[in-house]
A and B are shown apart, each in its own frame.
Chain A
Amino acid sequence: NAGVTQTPKFQVLKTGQSMTLQCAQDMNHNSMYWYRQDPGMGLRLIYYSASEGTTDKGEVPNGYNVSRLNKREFSLRLESAAPSQTSVYFCASSEAGGVNTEAFFGQGTRLTVV
């Protein structure tokens, strides 16, 4: 039972480089999320997708783009990486609606931009 799988686990980028973080879930969840975690700031929502085919901005979307490729996969792209994007990135998924909105998280991607 894989749950939420993120790749890669670690990445170092040079300023200006681009990359895509991949996320897939096998729980048939409708909603998927990308968060970043920074010291002292908890988790901040970057983008989310309430269902296949829809995406919406979260609290800190600037510098990122997302694609909900299908129900299972939700990718996060950095077009031109900046040092301020050094962070730990978490993908999560949940059932849509109702009280069963527990979020299931991947193991995280530690990204360093130099």
Chain B
Amino acid sequence: GDSVTQMEGPVTLSEEAFLTINCTYTATGYPSLFWYVQYPGEGLQLLLKATKADDKGSNKGFEATYRKETTSFHLEKGSVQVSDSAVYFCALSDRTGGFKTIFGAGTRLFVKA
């Protein structure tokens, strides 16, 4: 079945550092890919998405490119802020999976001032 694997955390960075959170997926079809963010005490909210190969999703300075050849969707940000501290989830949704959203385990990010 479909699955998502993302790097384990926690990731601890200083403010203005470069962020990469790795995500790879397994899917039988051609999934849409997502990054969700969960701030403390809240539900998940969509950060960005890409729906086909080579698409780049971007939002709030975060970017991720849909790489079909490496089945990856790594999240990057050039300069993190303390307010970016949260848990980040990579996810996919696939027609052959009935469009259920499958999530990775999540990566907790701490940004120090």
Contact = CB atoms under 8 A, between A and B. Distances in A.
Contacts of B81: none
Contacts of A96: 99
B85 interface: no
A107 interface: yes
Interface stretch (A14-22, A77-85, A98-106): A98-106
Given A101-B32, A102-B49, A33 B100 contact: yes
Interface string B8-43: 000000000000000000000000101010000011
A102 B36 CA distance: 10
Nearest to B106: A42
Contacts of A31: 99
A94 B34 CA distance: 13
Given A101-B32, A101-B93, A102-B49, A42 B103 contact: yes
Q: What size tier do the contact residues of chain B reach?
A: 20 to 34
A102 B34 contact: yes
A42 B44 contact: no
A68 to B, nearest CB: 15
Contacts of A104: 46
Contact of A48 (B91, B100, B105): B100
Nearest to B102: A45
A33 B99 contact: no
A111 interface: no
Contact of A94 (B101, B103, B104, B105): B101
Nearest to A97: B99
Interface of A: 4, 31, 33, 35, 40-43, 45, 48, 50, 56, 58, 90, 92, 94, 96-97, 99, 101-108
